[in-house]
Structure 1
Amino acid sequence: MVEHEKAWPEELRVSADRKTLSVRFTDGRAYGLEAELLRVRSPSAEVQGHSPEQRVTVGGKSEVTITKVLPVGNYAVRLTFDDGHDTGIFTWKFLSETGADKDARWAEYIAELADKGLSRTS
């Protein structure tokens, strides 16, 4: 296990405009994770399916916001978005990996949208 994977989040904060979740870990790493990226890459079965082939590319979420952050045990949070999506369990590991790989995940998402003729805005 990589040492930073043992880090615990010491702060989760939703921005005033509800479009960014800031996460700061005990090892000093901190990330600003856009609501859009979290929504379109939600770890829910609705988005991820039950296998990589079933993963859904979700477009039209550039203006999505986070309306609730609820703890799930001591390992995750459940985020609710203003479009009604609320089935993803965002583990500390998921948030850490998403923050560390954010640029690559954005690029992959933008490429998938283009391949499928979708847009961030509609």
Structure 2
Amino acid sequence: MPDTHPWPVEIKLKKSERLLEISFDDGAHFRLAAELLRVESPSAEVQGHGSGQKKTVPGKANVTIVALEPVGNYALRIVFDDGHDTGLFTWETLYRLGRDGEKIWTDYLTALEREGLARE
């Protein structure tokens, strides 16, 4: 990614599909599943308070996004139907989740299996 930060030009919540669609000024367009966003939330609940403290969050296969709340000009607060709403998703975080989503998802599924957890 170049030194410039990606800037969103369109954000759509597709509740029935459990997706967040986001387009950036560099032409990138991503469809981010609610489950991926929930289990990768940048909140302390998921990421911990330091390196190596990230938690694997099970049971979120059917989670939905209830609301999107802008935070300044730099992030979204995503409110999920399980009550989680503490992660601030910066534009850079959303871009990274879109760009690297397949690897992040594969790593998540591997962690679930390793820890004996399930998506349901």
- TM-score class normalised by the smaller sequence: over 0.9
Aligned pairs for 1:21-100 (under 5 A) are 21-100=20-99
1:18–1:67 CA contact under 8 A, matched in 2: no
Percent of residue pairs bearing the same amino acid type: 48
Question: Gapped runs of 5+ residues in structure 2?
Answer: none
* 1:53 CA displacement: 2.4
Which letter maps to 1:36?
Answer: E
1:7 & 1:39 partners in 2: Cα distance? 22
Change (3 A) 1:38 1:5: farther
* 1:6 CA displacement: 2.0
Which letter maps to 2:41?
Answer: S
1:72–1:78 CA contact under 8 A, matched in 2: yes
* 1:52 CA displacement: 2.8
Which letter maps to 1:15?
Answer: K
1:37 & 1:4 partners in 2: Cα distance? 26
- SS of 1:85's partner is coil
Aligned pairs for 1:94-113 (under 5 A) are 94-113=93-112
2:15–2:64 CA contact under 8 A, matched in 1: no
1:5–1:93 CA contact under 8 A, matched in 2: no
When the two structures are aligned, how many residues end up with a matched partner? Answer: 120
2:36–2:105 CA contact under 8 A, matched in 1: yes
- SS of 1:90's partner is strand
Change (3 A) 1:5 1:37: farther
* 1:26 CA displacement: 1.0
1:78–1:89 CA contact under 8 A, matched in 2: yes
- Structure 1 stretch 97-106 or stretch 9-18: which is displaced more? 9-18
Specify the alignment match of 2:8 in structure 1: 9
